[in-house]
């Protein structure tokens, strides 16, 4: 996969700020990467208009698994597509922890995204307690085992995996390249066990990605990109991060 550099804004930026960011970033997209922005739903349309035809891709931060109905506050896969999204985050740890999304629900959202033709970034990762006990496998195996249940190989092959250790999100303490590589291997093992060796999913890393550590994830750890929270909010900084990745993977 072309290395992905993705910006997850979380609950930040109104329309005007979002448009200003999207305009700066669209003008400075380097060759050789897939740049994606996940704005809040209220800014999707404005960002879409700003980035139209300029190469920056759009994603939703969340989606519900029903296509329409009495689900106050929720957004359907079809609505995200209509708003210009190609990608969607599924199972982000903030959704799991703060909003109580269970592994099973994450699986329903994952299936809905795939059935609608969106590319899900399926987020998995261990808690600090697991990490401190050196249990690197348990959470990833459980999250993937439950959420992938019942999905066909053809559907699974369209998923982008995102390894986001919970202890690294917003903490300033990122995983090392060795740790990211180890977890990517665990993710690959689960896929191999469930679907055989024929499926090789792209894996991106998220959790306190900054300019100092970004290129290691794509070069040393051989991952397929990064998912950036805090450091994505400033347009100039995000441009620098995109350039780091593009430079690191350039032939
Ligand atoms: P930070 O980069 O702020 O740690 O957030 C990572 C993240 O949650 C991306 O989805």
The pLDDT of residue 251 is 84
The pLDDT of residue 93 is 97
CA dihedral 194, 121, 161, 9 (to 10 degrees): -150
202 lines ligand 1 (CB under 6 A): no
The pLDDT of residue 46 is 97
Average pLDDT (208-231) is: 96
12 is catalytic: no
Atom 5 in ligand 1: which residue has the minimum CA distance?
229
Q: What CATH code is assigned to 4-249? A: 3.20.20.70
Q: Does pLDDT of 214 surpass 90?
A: yes
* Tens of pLDDT, residues 28-73: 999 999 999 999 999 999 999 999 999 999 999 999 999 999 999 9
The best mutation among 39, 208, 223, 225 to test binding of ligand 1, ranked by most ligand atoms within 8 Å of the C-beta, falls on: 208
The pLDDT of residue 185 is 97
Name the nearest CA neighbour of 113 among 154, 63, 184, 181.
63
User: Could you tell me the distance, in angstroms and rounded to a whole number, from the CA of residue 197 to the centre of ligand 1?
Assistant: 30
DSSP state letter for 249 = H
Place of tokens 């998995």: 124
Average pLDDT (180-202) is: 96
Which residue in the list 34, 92, 126, 181 is annotated as catalytic?
Answer: 92
The best mutation among 6, 61, 164 to test binding of ligand 1, ranked by most ligand atoms within 8 Å of the C-beta, falls on: 164
* Tens of pLDDT, residues 9-23: 999 999 999 999 999
The pLDDT of residue 247 is 95
The pLDDT of residue 237 is 98
243: region left, alpha or beta (phi > 0 left; psi from -120 to 50 alpha): alpha
Which residue in the list 101, 126, 164, 181 is annotated as catalytic?
Answer: 164
User: Six-digit token pair at 26?
Assistant: 């669209």
222 is catalytic: no
Sign, CA torsion 211/22/91/101:
positive
The pLDDT of residue 1 is 86
CA distance 38 to 28: 18
Are 80 and 53 contacting, i.e. CB atoms less than 8 angstroms apart? no
CA dihedral 130, 134, 138, 139 (to 10 degrees): 40
Name the nearest CA neighbour of 227 among 179, 163, 158.
163
CA distance 120 to 162: 10
Domain assignments of the chain as residue spans, ordered by start = 4-249
Q: Does pLDDT of 221 surpass 90?
A: no
The best mutation among 206, 210, 214 to test binding of ligand 1, ranked by most ligand atoms within 8 Å of the C-beta, falls on: 206
169 lines ligand 1 (CB under 6 A): yes
Q: What is 117-161 written as a DSSP string? A: T-EEEEEE---HHHHHTT--SHHHHHHHHHHTTT--HHHHTTPEE
């Amino acid at each position: 996969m072309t290395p992905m550099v993705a910006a997850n804004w979380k609950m930040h930026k109104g329309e005007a700020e979002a448009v200003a960011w999207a305009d700066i970033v669209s003008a400075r997209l380097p060759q050789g990467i897939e740049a994606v922005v996940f704005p809040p739903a209220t800014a999707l349309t404005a960002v879409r208009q700003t980035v139209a035809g300029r190469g920056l891709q759009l994603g939703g931060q969340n989606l519900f698994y029903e296509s329409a109905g009495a689900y106050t506050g929720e957004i359907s896969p079809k609505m995200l597509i209509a708003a210009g999204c190609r990608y969607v985050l599924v199972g982000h740890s903030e959704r799991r922890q703060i909003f109580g999304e269970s592994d099973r629900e994450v699986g329903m959202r994952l299936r809905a995204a795939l059935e609608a033709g969106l590319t899900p970034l399926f987020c998995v990762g261990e808690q600090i307690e697991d990490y401190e006990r050196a249990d690197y496998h348990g959470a990833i195996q459980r999250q993937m085992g439950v959420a992938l249940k019942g999905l066909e190989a053809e559907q699974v092959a369209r998923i982008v995996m995102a390894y986001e250790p919970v202890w690294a999100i917003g903490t300033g303490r990122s995983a090392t390249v060795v740790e990211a590589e180890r977890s990517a291997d665990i993710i690959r093992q689960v896929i191999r066990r469930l679907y055989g060796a024929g499926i090789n999913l792209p894996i991106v890393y998220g959790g306190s990605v900054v300019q100092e550590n970004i290129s290691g994830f794509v070069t040393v750890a051989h991952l397929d990109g990064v998912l950036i929270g805090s450091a994505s909010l400033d347009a100039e900084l995000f441009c620098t991060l995109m350039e780091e990745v593009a430079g690191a993977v350039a032939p």
